[in-house]
Structure 1
Amino acid sequence: MDDKMNYYQIARKEWQEFYRNGAAPLTQEELDSIKSFNDQISMQDVQDIYVPLTHLIHLYMKEFESLTVSKGLFLHEYVPVPPFIIGIAGSVAVGKSTTARLLQMILSRTFKRRNVQLITTDGFLYPNKVLEERGIMDRKGFPESYDMEKLIEFLNQVKSGQEEIKAPLYSHNVYDIIEGEFETIQQPDILIVEGINTLQLPANQQIYVSDFFDFSVYVDADSSLIEKWYLDRFGALLDTAFRDPENYYYKYAIGDRKDAFAMAKDVWNSVNLKNLEEYILPTRGRADIILHKTEHHIIDEIFLRKY
């Protein structure tokens, strides 16, 4: 990791000692309900990793609020505190969705008066029809497949305190944007934005999505491990998709399993691995925290950005 010179490298055992005053504010059943396909996480992970991480986020939030108050004093007027936005990035299948949902639940339980909402950047992918028209369907997930102007506009609306903001809705079952359906964000105090592109992609030469983030997390692992998790997840999807003809994976679920896995492996090598190496991994050094995973999704090291 060439960019680790800018980080404090902290072993799991050391990290868990930094803050031990809080109990995990959820049950095993609740944890199981928010886990992604084939992700592995335990209550011990919540206690050792995520409770201290929540405390660190709280420190960032207090500094953020203090700076807002100071701006108001300077301007001699009341300045409302904007939503605190947390970005979560990482490869496909690395477990960032579980991290995002878990943080949302812990932050909601820890700060009961705060409105904590979550959105993924999948909704800002161009619809498949547009990708096909542009001849970039095989580049889905790459920078050019996202409507970044729409995502930048959305984040601007969130930061400006707009009361109700609608975002496009993406379905992994049909592998496409659901036309005419939206998810609504309503004046969050904390907004978590999760996606492979959250720390990358300028909409133009001046503005990055990450410019809107007040704290950011990159979920990291060796690419060979992520490939294994990707293929394991693909197998788990096949085990359920055969029940639903509308599911994108149905045709693979009812076909030859060996051929299906050959296709998945090809997609990993030609799309997901290429995207990771060329566009996602180079953004890792922008994150405030890097959660490094090893076998079985176990977080063994944490990197905290120095400056």
Structure 2
Amino acid sequence: MSRRPRGGTAGRALKSIAATNGELSPYRVFRRDDWAALRADTPQPLQEREIERLRGLNERLSTEEVVEIYLPLSRLLNLYVRATQRLFEATQNFLGTAGHKVPYVIGVAGSVAVGKSTTARVLQALLARWPGTPRVDLVTTDGFLYPNAHLEREGLMERKGFPESFDIQSLLRFLARVKAGEPAVRAPLYSHFVYDVLPDTTVTVDRPDILIVEGLNVLQTSRPPRDGKAIPFVSDYFDFSIYLDAELDELEKWYVQRFMTLRETAFRDPGAYFHRFASLSDEAAVETATGIWRRINLPNLLESIQPTRQRADLILKKGPDHLIEEVWLRKL
């Protein structure tokens, strides 16, 4: 029987970059208390009711998490956005070109069940409170998955979420148009309820101040061409990128817990794609969820997602309780 990778190995590998290499590490590592002190006097604008609304399924998002982790991060991002806006304005003055607003784009990457959606929603809510960035849009790359009919035809349903299951060219065109400052750029929408892209349903991105792009493989690259010709990656359009990290064993546990919660809620609707799982016993449901994780999500994480971790500008390291324990900030 093959041995399953242990989460501790990945965690120790990440930590050793800073601990063993010391000054060679590309990151500065902050423990929770040290990072929280960087909040300075930034006010906490979110009410408990709003925090509850932003919280993902089976996740812990408290006022303390917002204050100690996300407020310092929103302060840092606000400084970066303002500096980038000034640089863009200086470049336009140099070129003598007409001014138009270009969104600051933030990428959020990480495994299934690590809490990407919650992080993206919290950042959206906080950044919209800063002066100068009132319009903050959020787009998930799930909408750029190929429809199930295409995946079934190509034999890719068991690879859903892997890089080859996404229409990368459409995603690149979307980001290129957004970064060019075009108005009313449309992105497709995905429904987790029906487990498919919704036909003829889109969300419009209309020159926001900030655009947050959340998805599994947004930091993914490919081998550079031998002829040196440019091949754009999704991350080429990012001004800042965040990777949410956790031990493999914890990610599996969170995925199974989420599956069990959905079995008692969304899966019970006859129209749900996974309605067939609602009638499973507890034991069978745990076995099914664990099987899906180990057959699909874990290989995708190890092959496609985790190797991109070191490309992020910021790594948020979560502990067993879903709370962020360390913040890794790339050195400038």
Q: CA distance change for structure 1 residues 32 and 112 in 2, over 3 Å: closer, same or farther?
A: farther
Cα shift readout 1:188-236 (whole Å, capped 9, x = no counterpart): 1100000011111459851110000001111111111011110010011
Say whether residues 1:108 and 2:134 are aligned partners.
Answer: no
Q: CA distance change for structure 1 residues 174 and 154 in 2, over 3 Å: closer, same or farther?
A: same
**C-alpha separation between the residues in 1 aligned to 2:193 and 2:309?**
29
Post-superposition shift, 1:115?
1.0
**8 Å CA contact 2:120, 2:214 repeated in 1:** yes
**8 Å CA contact 2:101, 2:207 repeated in 1:** no
Say whether residues 1:288 and 2:313 are aligned partners.
Answer: yes
Within 5 Å, give how 1:1-307 maps onto structure 2: 1=14, 3-4=17-18, 5-111=25-131, 114-202=134-222, 206-307=231-332
**8 Å CA contact 1:199, 1:283 repeated in 2:** yes
**8 Å CA contact 1:121, 1:194 repeated in 2:** yes
Q: CA distance change for structure 1 residues 175 and 203 in 2, over 3 Å: closer, same or farther?
A: farther
Structure 1 range deviating more: 151-160 or 174-183: 174-183
| CA RMSD, 1 decimal | 1.6
User: SS where residue 202 of structure 2 aligns?
Assistant: strand
Q: CA distance change for structure 1 residues 222 and 113 in 2, over 3 Å: closer, same or farther?
A: closer
**8 Å CA contact 1:68, 1:81 repeated in 2:** no
Tell me the TM-score normalised to structure 2 length: 0.89
**C-alpha separation between the residues in 2 aligned to 1:191 and 1:219?**
18
Post-superposition shift, 1:73?
2.7
Structure 1 range deviating more: 68-77 or 214-223: 68-77
**C-alpha separation between the residues in 2 aligned to 1:203 and 1:105?**
36
**8 Å CA contact 1:68, 1:79 repeated in 2:** no
Post-superposition shift, 1:22?
1.3
Give me the identity figure in percent: 45
Post-superposition shift, 1:79?
3.8
Amino acid at match of 1:65: Q
User: SS where residue 109 of structure 1 aligns?
Assistant: coil
Equivalence for 2:8 = none
Amino acid at match of 1:181: T
User: SS where residue 216 of structure 2 aligns?
Assistant: coil
Amino acid at match of 1:262: E
**C-alpha separation between the residues in 2 aligned to 1:194 and 1:110?**
21
Equivalence for 2:7 = none
Aligned length in residues? 307
User: SS where residue 113 of structure 2 aligns?
Assistant: coil
Q: CA distance change for structure 1 residues 204 and 247 in 2, over 3 Å: closer, same or farther?
A: farther
**8 Å CA contact 1:71, 1:79 repeated in 2:** no
Amino acid at match of 1:235: M
Post-superposition shift, 1:76?
2.8
**C-alpha separation between the residues in 2 aligned to 1:92 and 1:243?**
22
**C-alpha separation between the residues in 1 aligned to 2:46 and 2:186?**
29
User: SS where residue 296 of structure 1 aligns?
Assistant: coil
**C-alpha separation between the residues in 1 aligned to 2:320 and 2:107?**
24
User: SS where residue 198 of structure 1 aligns?
Assistant: coil
**8 Å CA contact 1:202, 1:209 repeated in 2:** no
User: SS where residue 38 of structure 2 aligns?
Assistant: coil
Post-superposition shift, 1:70?
1.9
Tell me the TM-score normalised to structure 1 length: 0.96
**C-alpha separation between the residues in 2 aligned to 1:175 and 1:113?**
33
**8 Å CA contact 1:292, 1:302 repeated in 2:** yes
**C-alpha separation between the residues in 2 aligned to 1:59 and 1:165?**
26
